[in-house]
Amino acid sequence: MSVDVQTALRSPKSYELARTALEVMEAHQVWPTVRNFELWVHYVAEKESPLAQEIDRLLAAGEAITETMGEALAAQFLPEAKLNGDILEAGDVLSKELQSVTAAIGAAQRSSEEYGQELAIASGRLTEDDANTVKSVVEDLTVATRKVQGENAVLEGQLAETTAELGRLRESLDQVRRDAMTDGLTNLANRKAFDEGLEHACEIADAAGEGMTLAIIDIDHFKGFNDAWGHQIGDQVLRYVASVIGRMGAHPRMAARYGGEEFAIIFPTEHGRTAKAVLEEIREEVSSRSLKRRSTNEDLGTITVSAGYAERIAGEGAMSLVERADAALYASKHAGRNRTTAAQPMAAVAAA
């Protein structure tokens, strides 16, 4: 947060500022996540800031400040969010550089060993009769080489320690990246990870000449359920559905929280019929369980999910694939919910 906002949050006005931010979030039906809270604290504290002006513009245009839009606003206007992205990029670069340095060290070590071996062989082949002087020079070089090898052994030990430490650093950076690509509530991949994963899956599919399928899943009537039982129970429902989707969408598939109560599964190299079978299994398992409030064991009833899936054609872009899967999801919603629908083929979409 900026210095002004940080100062405000450390003053007697901090509670008023926090309450105002939460009230505005509730008025605009914005989820009270950590990122959203930070965003809206900036909004109410700095009404003339570029962030506040952009939010006012979106609200005036009738736009809903969704979780995805909130992340985009944070990345653009909040310095901490941008810094996290910079850290991830720096971590990737550092990881590649460390691999390159480690390889160079290994190559240098092998060259030194080979040099010493060659000198030793040359010294053994020369005899006193034909090359006393040359042999003396070679022996001197051999001694010098052994000295260098001894010094290299010490250096190798130091480099081994350094390499181990760099390896630990790389693991830490990898963990930071995993955390930044994971949804905190459900432990599934987050929207950023999904976007990258889908682009990569499309590239792999084209390179290998194989198909792939994308599915989008939505919890039916979640807003009403959330309003009736509160956000804590809503979060419990999200975690339950995510656990089912995560198990069915485990590697090499990719399960992600797409946004709010929507989830997605990428099925690399798998056709629509396989995806449909998995989605039906998810739908049946979710609806088969009667949920209960953990604190009181009160019966909360059952929930259902709707799903749509699209089988990708060669060369189709990620955005087009998402649009077709999303359209299939809404077809399931309009047909009565609690069902799975296949997307229309590309030709049918273009003609519509």
Please count the CA atoms within 13 angstroms of the CA of 164 that sit on its side-chain side: 6
Cβ 303 vs Cβ 286: under 8 Å: yes
pLDDT value at position 196?
92
Q: Out of 30-34, 111-115, 207-211, 333-337, which region has the weakest mean confidence (pLDDT)? A: 111-115
pLDDT value at position 198?
95
pLDDT digits (tens, 9 = 90+) for 115-173: 666 666 666 655 555 556 666 666 666 766 776 667 667 666 766 776 676 677 667 66
pLDDT value at position 67?
74
The residues carrying an active-site annotation are 261
Please count the CA atoms within 13 angstroms of the CA of 205 that sit on its side-chain side: 25
- Name the more confident of 6 and 222: 222
Model-wide pTM > 0.85: no
Q: Which CATH architecture has domain 191-351?
A: 2-Layer Sandwich (3.30)
What's the average model confidence in pLDDT over 26-46?
82
pLDDT value at position 298?
83
pLDDT digits (tens, 9 = 90+) for 102-128: 666 666 666 666 666 666 666 665 555
pLDDT value at position 348?
47
- Name the more confident of 348 and 186: 186
Q: Is the pLDDT of residue 344 over 60?
A: yes
Going from N- to C-terminal start, the domains of the chain cover 3-77, 82-180, 191-351
Q: Pairing state of beta strands 262-268 and 212-219? A: antiparallel
Q: Is the pLDDT of residue 179 over 80?
A: no
